[in-house]
Chain A
Amino acid sequence: MQAHIISLLVENNPGVLTRMSGMFTQRGINITSLTVSPCEKEGLSRMTVAIEGSESELEMVRKQLSNLIEVVKVVDLKESEAIIRDLCLLKVHAKDSEARSEVMQLAESYGAKILDAVLDSVTLELTEEPKKIDRFVDLMRHFGVKQLFRTGVTAIGIGAGTGVGVEK
C-alpha cells in the first residue's frame, strides 16, 4: 500500500463527483482525501484525490478514470515532482497562560497562524505538506485538540510541466 495523489481535470457537470468516486468505490479503494474546486479553464473543475493502493491498482483506476466521458485529464502526481499542500484549522486546549504561550510559541515555529485565542483555547491555521501537519497535530494533542478540520490535499506539479499523466 502506498499513498498516491491523482489530479483530475473534469467537466463541471452535476454528477461528475459521484461518477468519479464510484470508480474508486467499485474497486474497493478508499479515498483518504478529496478536494474539488474551479480551475483556470471555465466550465472545468480540478479534483485532487489522495488514495492508498498498489501501483497496479493505481494504473487501473487511472485508465478507468480517463475513460469517463467527463474526465478531461488525469495526472498521477508523484511526491517528488509536486508541491502538495493541506490546510488545517484546529482548536487547541490551553488550560492556563503557560500552556497558551507554549502553544503559541510552537505554532509560530511551525509557521501556523493564530486565528483566535480565548482563555482556555487557541485556534490555529496551518497550510503545509500533509506530513508536517500530521506532526504539528500530534504535538498539539499533548495540550488537547478540541476540534480539527483539514481540507485534504491539493497539489500542483513543479516546474513548467503538468506532471506525469494521461492527456486524453
Chain B
Amino acid sequence: MAKQKLSGAEIVVEELKTEGAEVAFGIPGGALLDLYDVLYKEEAIRHILMRHEQCAAHAADGYARVSGKAGVCIATSGPGATNLVTGLANANMDSSPVVALTGQVPTSVIGSNAFQESSTFTITMPITKHNFLVKRTEDLPKVIHNAFYIANTGRKGVVLVDLPTDILAGEAKVDLHPKETFAGYKPNIKPNQVQIKRVVETLANAERPLILAGGGVISADAAVELRHLADFLGAPVVTTLMGKGAIPENHPFCLGMAGMHGQLYANRAINECDALLALGTRFSDRTTGWQLDQFAPDATLIHVDIDTAEINKNMQVDIPIVGDVKLALSGILKLLEKKRAKKSGSEWEKRIKKMHSACDSCVEEISREGASVSDILIKEISRILDDDAIVTTEVGQCQMFAAHYYMTKKPRTFISSGGLGTMGFGFPAAIGAKIAAPDKQVVDIAGDGSFLMTCQDMATCVENDIPVVVCLFDNRYLGMVRQFQELFFDKKYAQTGLGITPDFVKLAEAFGCYGERVEKPEDLKDALNNAFKSGKPAVLDMIVGKEDKVLPMIPPGGSITRMIGTERCKRI
C-alpha cells in the first residue's frame, strides 16, 4: 500500500480501529483537541465521556476483563494524566490489558512547566508494563500497534502512549498497520515439554492433588482445560480472588476461594494436599498467609505462570513452568491421559466432597445461624442474579463478603481490584463491563465508603444509557478498617466512621438514576427486580449491620492454618 499523508490524530484513530478498539473511555482537554476533532467524525469508535479520568481507566480495565480485549482510555495532559494514574496502576497490578492515550504539551515546551504539563512518561513508568513518549508523527503507526501488542501479549498489562499536541497536529507520510518489531520483547508462551513431563509424573503419582487457580487461568481463557484436568485427576480446585470464576463455584470439586478471607476448607485443602498445581497466580500474601512454611507444607509445588519473574518470587517452588496456562494445561492433560486412566472414588475425593458440602451448607444455612445482614444480602444477590451476570466489587468488606459468599459460575463475571485494592474501582469497572456485555446483568457490590469516591460517574451512566445496578452496603463506616480496629486495635475506631452520609436514594435520583432503600434482606429481591425493570442505572441503598464482620479470616501476619472466626463453619 502506498504511503498516506495523514495527521498524527488521524493516524492514531486509524490504528485504533485496526487494533479492534470499538470503544474508548475518556475526557478531552486542551492538549487533545486534534484527536477529539478526528474522533468527532469517527463512527467506528464509540467514545464514552467519563466524569473523572480515574473512572476512564477503571472502565477501560473493566471492559478489558469482561471482553478479553484491550480497553482504551484517553486523558488530557497534566491533571488528566495524573488522574489516570490510580486506574492504570490498578489495571497493571491485575494484568489487565489497557491502552492509555494521554495528551502532552508540545515537544518544544516539554520540561518548561508549561500549562497543564506533567511528566506523564516518568510518572507512569513504574505503574505500566511499558510506555511511550512520541516525538515524531511518523512513529505513530508503529507505536500504537506496539502498544496494543505489548498490552495483549505475555503477561498482559497497561501501555501508555503520551501524545504531544504538535505530534497529533503534525502530518506525515506513513504506512499504516505495520508489524511489530522488537529487539528484546519476545513474550514466552510455549511451555517447556520436559517440565510438563515432570508435572505429569508428579500429578499421576500424587494421592492428594490440588489445583490453585489464579487470574492467569481466566486471562488465558483456560477454564475448560482446568475443568477437564480437575475431573480427570479427581483434584479439587481452590481459587485466588482473581481466579474466581475459573471454575463454577458450585462444581463439586470447587472449594471456593483460599487465603486471608477465603473458605476454611479451601485453606484446609492446601494444608492437606501432597501436590499443588498453582496456575497463573503470584502467591500473593492474601492467598498464602504470612507464614510461608505453613503453606502447603507437604506438597510438591508446581507453578505455571507466563511471567518468569513470578517464579520463585514469593514461593520457592519445586517444578516451575513458564508459559501460557492454556497451553500448559492442554499439554499436561494430553500426557496424563496417555499415562493413566481417570481417577475416581479415592479417599481424597471423598474428603473433598465432604469439604465441599461443609462449605456449601455453611453458605446455604447462613441465614439461620446468626449470620450478619451483609452475609445474607450477598447470598441473596447470588441467588437472584442470572448465572452469567457480571459482578464487580468495590474494595473492603463488601468485596470480601462477595468473594466469600457470591457464587461465581463463569469466567470473566467476577471483576474485582485484587492487587492494588482500589476503593472506587467497582462502579466505573461496572460501566466498562456493561459496555462490553450490554445484554448481561451488571451489578456493583459496593460499600458506602468506596462508592463515594467515584459516584459522580452516575452522570456518565445516565447520559449514555448504561444501566448498571449498584448494591450499596450502607454501614456508614470504612468497614474493613473498622473491623481490623475492632479485632486488633481495642475497638478504637480512628477515622473510620463516616458520620453523616448522603441519602443515597436521593443522590441517585438527583443524577437521574433509580434509587431504592432496602431495609431488610427479604426486600432485596423486589428491589433488584425494580432496578432491572426501571432500565436505568440504579442504586440500592442496603442498610446493613454497622458492625458486621467478614469472617472467617486469617489475622494479619498469621498462617493459612489458623483462621479466626470459624465458629460458624461446619466441622467435618
Query: Do A14 and B133 contact each other (CB < 8 Å), given the known contacts A44-B183, A64-B309, A72-B183?
Result: yes
Query: Do A73 and B184 contact each other (CB < 8 Å), given the known contacts A14-B133, A15-B133?
Result: yes
A69 close to B122 (CB less than 8 A)? no
* In the complex, residue of chain B having the shortest beta-carbon distance to the beta carbon of A74: B184
Type the 1/0 row for B417-447, where 1 means its CB is closer than 8 Å to any CB of A: 0000000000000000000000000000000
Interface residue from B125, B135, B150 paired with A19 (Cβ < 8 Å): B125
A69 close to B129 (CB less than 8 A)? yes
What separation, in Å, do the CA atoms of A18 and B182 have in the docked complex? Answer: 19
A168 close to B186 (CB less than 8 A)? yes
Type the 1/0 row for A23-65, where 1 means its CB is closer than 8 Å to any CB of B: 0001000000000000000011000000000001001100110
A15 close to B121 (CB less than 8 A)? yes
Minimum CB–CB distance for B233 against chain A, Å: 30
Is A155 positioned at the interface, with any CB of B under 8 Å from its CB?
A: no
A70 close to B313 (CB less than 8 A)? no
B122 close to A15 (CB less than 8 A)? yes
What separation, in Å, do the CA atoms of A115 and B306 have in the docked complex? Answer: 54
Minimum CB–CB distance for B222 against chain A, Å: 22
Interface hits, B121-136 → A, CB 8 Å: 121-122, 125-126, 129-130, 133, 135
Is B4 positioned at the interface, with any CB of A under 8 Å from its CB?
A: no
Minimum CB–CB distance for B324 against chain A, Å: 16
What separation, in Å, do the CA atoms of A69 and B146 have in the docked complex? Answer: 11
Minimum CB–CB distance for B430 against chain A, Å: 31
Main secondary structure of the interface of B (DSSP, over half): loop
Is A71 positioned at the interface, with any CB of B under 8 Å from its CB?
A: yes
What separation, in Å, do the CA atoms of A68 and B185 have in the docked complex? Answer: 8
Type the 1/0 row for B186-209, where 1 means its CB is closer than 8 Å to any CB of A: 100000000000000000000000
Interface residue from A15, A59, A71, A73 paired with B312 (Cβ < 8 Å): A59
A67 close to B308 (CB less than 8 A)? yes
Is B307 positioned at the interface, with any CB of A under 8 Å from its CB?
A: yes
B182 close to A69 (CB less than 8 A)? yes
What separation, in Å, do the CA atoms of A127 and B290 have in the docked complex? Answer: 49
A71 close to B121 (CB less than 8 A)? no
Minimum CB–CB distance for A122 against chain B, Å: 42
A67 close to B309 (CB less than 8 A)? yes
Minimum CB–CB distance for A61 against chain B, Å: 9
Minimum CB–CB distance for A135 against chain B, Å: 38
Is A22 positioned at the interface, with any CB of B under 8 Å from its CB?
A: yes
A72 close to B309 (CB less than 8 A)? no
Query: Do A69 and B308 contact each other (CB < 8 Å), given the known contacts A10-B184, A11-B184, A60-B313?
Result: no
Is A66 positioned at the interface, with any CB of B under 8 Å from its CB?
A: yes
What separation, in Å, do the CA atoms of A42 and B325 have in the docked complex? Answer: 36
* In the complex, residue of chain A having the shortest beta-carbon distance to the beta carbon of B322: A63
Minimum CB–CB distance for B322 against chain A, Å: 10
* In the complex, residue of chain B having the shortest beta-carbon distance to the beta carbon of A25: B126
A69 close to B126 (CB less than 8 A)? no
A22 close to B125 (CB less than 8 A)? yes
B126 CB contacts on chain A under 8 angstroms: 22, 26
Interface residue from B130, B182, B309 paired with A63 (Cβ < 8 Å): B309
* In the complex, residue of chain B having the shortest beta-carbon distance to the beta carbon of A70: B184
What separation, in Å, do the CA atoms of A43 and B313 have in the docked complex? Answer: 32
A44 CB contacts on chain B under 8 angstroms: 183
Interface core residue of A9, A26, A64 (most chain B CB under 10 Å): A64
Type the 1/0 row for B85-122, where 1 means its CB is closer than 8 Å to any CB of A: 00000000000000000000000000000000000011
Type the 1/0 row for B298-338, where 1 means its CB is closer than 8 Å to any CB of A: 00000000011101110000000000000000000000000
B307 CB contacts on chain A under 8 angstroms: 67
Interface core residue of B183, B185, B186 (most chain A CB under 10 Å): B183
B184 close to A69 (CB less than 8 A)? yes
B183 close to A18 (CB less than 8 A)? no
Minimum CB–CB distance for A53 against chain B, Å: 15
B184 CB contacts on chain A under 8 angstroms: 9-11, 68-73, 168
Interface core residue of B125, B133, B135, B185 (most chain A CB under 10 Å): B185
Minimum CB–CB distance for A124 against chain B, Å: 39
Minimum CB–CB distance for A56 against chain B, Å: 8
What separation, in Å, do the CA atoms of A70 and B311 have in the docked complex? Answer: 21
Type the 1/0 row for A69-82, where 1 means its CB is closer than 8 Å to any CB of B: 11111000000000
What separation, in Å, do the CA atoms of A43 and B150 have in the docked complex? Answer: 20
B185 CB contacts on chain A under 8 angstroms: 69, 168
Minimum CB–CB distance for A17 against chain B, Å: 11
What separation, in Å, do the CA atoms of A14 and B245 have in the docked complex? Answer: 42
Interface core residue of A18, A44, A69, A73 (most chain B CB under 10 Å): A69
A70 CB contacts on chain B under 8 angstroms: 183-184
A18 close to B133 (CB less than 8 A)? no
What separation, in Å, do the CA atoms of A11 and B183 have in the docked complex? Answer: 7
Query: Do A43 and B183 contact each other (CB < 8 Å), given the known contacts A18-B122, A19-B125, A22-B126?
Result: yes
Minimum CB–CB distance for B130 against chain A, Å: 4
* In the complex, residue of chain B having the shortest beta-carbon distance to the beta carbon of A67: B309
What separation, in Å, do the CA atoms of A72 and B181 have in the docked complex? Answer: 12
B312 CB contacts on chain A under 8 angstroms: 56, 59
B135 CB contacts on chain A under 8 angstroms: 14
What separation, in Å, do the CA atoms of A44 and B184 have in the docked complex? Answer: 10
A67 CB contacts on chain B under 8 angstroms: 307-309
B122 CB contacts on chain A under 8 angstroms: 15, 18
Minimum CB–CB distance for B182 against chain A, Å: 7
B309 CB contacts on chain A under 8 angstroms: 60, 63-64, 66-67
B183 CB contacts on chain A under 8 angstroms: 11, 43-44, 70, 72
A-B contact pairs, 29 of them (CB 8 A): A10-B184, A11-B183, A14-B133, A15-B121, A15-B125, A18-B125, A19-B125, A22-B125, A26-B126, A43-B183, A44-B183, A59-B312, A60-B313, A63-B308, A63-B309, A63-B311, A64-B309, A66-B308, A67-B307, A67-B309, A68-B130, A69-B129, A69-B130, A69-B185, A70-B184, A71-B184, A73-B184, A168-B184, A168-B185
Give B residues with C-beta under 8 Å from A: 121-122, 125-126, 129-130, 133, 135, 150, 182-186, 307-309, 311-313
Extra 16 A-B pairs, beta carbons < 8 Å, given A14-B133, A73-B184: A9-B184, A11-B183, A15-B121, A19-B125, A22-B126, A43-B183, A44-B183, A63-B308, A66-B308, A67-B307, A67-B308, A68-B130, A69-B150, A69-B182, A69-B184, A168-B186
Give A residues with C-beta under 8 Å from B: 9-11, 14-15, 18-19, 22, 26, 43-44, 56, 59-60, 63-64, 66-73, 168
Closest 4 CB pairs of A and B: A72-B184, A63-B309, A69-B130, A69-B185
